[in-house]
A and B are shown apart, each in its own frame.
Chain A
Amino acid sequence: DTEVTQTPKHLVMGMTNKKSLKCEQHMGHRAMYWYKQKAKKPPELMFVYSYEKLSINESVPSRFSPECPNSSLLNLHLHALQPEDSALYLCASSQGAWTGSSGNTIYFGEGSWLTVV
């Protein structure tokens, strides 16, 4: 079973709605990620938080707004989305700082299926 928990599992929203995706991990990991996965495509990195600070933003449109309230929680706030934003949104976490030979395994949650109508 995954130790990265995402809610909701399914979300349908209109283009004018504001909604949020939530992610939680209790593995003591200090890096947390949002990925977007379209059908039959690989996951694409959106954001990375490292030690609760935004570390990577892969030029994601501002209608997606990440937030990391603490080391265990990661949110993705959604506003004015487009139908093409419909996808599986994956949260993931890893230990944090590059640990050299120990590596840095990334663990995924089950994802939130988002449909924009």
Chain B
Amino acid sequence: AQSVSQHNHHVILSEAASLELGCNYSYGGTVNLFWYVQYPGQHLQLLLKYFSGDPLVKGIKGFEAEFIKSKFSFNLRKPSVQWSDTAEYFCAVNFGGSGTYKYIFGTGTRLKVLA
């Protein structure tokens, strides 16, 4: 079955620390990969996405992610976090190739950045 896993459920960092959040999926076919952020009380916002090409993608707010096909991973990184990055981060995968619209979300990682 297709699934998306995020192993870090809660992460606490101090400002200026580096961030890496893991995302793995189980599927050997064509996928589109996304990271969304949800600030407290707000809606989901797209941080970045990968469709094809350069496996290192850059998103908004200084975030980037690297697609490693051999590891079925799409980890999110930020060199130096800020207090305003406190939020919940969701990895999502669109398991495509056959026109499916099924986007599956990981369980989310709750990030708290201490000022």
B97 touches A98 (CB 8 A): yes
**Does A104 contact B94, Cβ atoms closer than 8 Å?**
yes
Nearest-CB distance from B19 to chain A (Å)? 19
Judge if A21 is at the interface, Cβ distance under 8 Å.
Answer: no
Which residue of A2, A42, A48, A107 is within 8 Å of B101 (Cβ)?
Answer: A48
Among B51, B96, B101, residue most surrounded by chain A Cβ atoms (within 10 Å)? B101
The chain A residue with its CB closest to the CB of B9 is: A40
Q: Which residue on B lies nearest to A113, using beta carbons?
A: B41
Q: Is there contact, CB below 8 Å, between B43 and A45?
A: no
**Contacts A2-B43, A105-B34, A107-B46; is A94 near B101 (CB within 8 Å)?**
yes
B49 at the interface (CB under 8 A from A): yes
Q: Tell me whether A45 and B103 are in contact in the complex, defined as CB-CB below 8 angstroms, given that A2-B43, A105-B34, A105-B46 are known contacts.
A: yes
Q: Which residues of B contact A41 (CB under 8 A)?
A: 107-108
Interface size on A, residues (CB 8 A): 28
Chain A residues, Cβ within 8 Å of B43? 2, 90, 108-111
Q: Is B70 an interface residue (CB 8 A)?
A: no
Knowing A42-B90, A42-B107, the reply to whether A56 touches B102 (Cβ < 8 A) is: yes
User: Which residue among A45, A50, A55, A103 has the maximum number of chain B CB atoms within 10 Å of its CB?
Assistant: A103
Is A101 on the interface with B (CB-CB < 8 A)? yes
A interface residues (Cβ-Cβ under 8 A, vs B):
2, 31, 33, 40-45, 48, 50, 55-56, 90, 94, 97-98, 101-111
Between A and B, 18 residue pairs with Cβ closer than 8 Å are: A2-B43, A42-B105, A42-B108, A44-B105, A45-B102, A45-B104, A90-B44, A98-B96, A98-B99, A103-B32, A103-B51, A103-B52, A104-B94, A105-B34, A105-B49, A106-B103, A108-B36, A110-B42
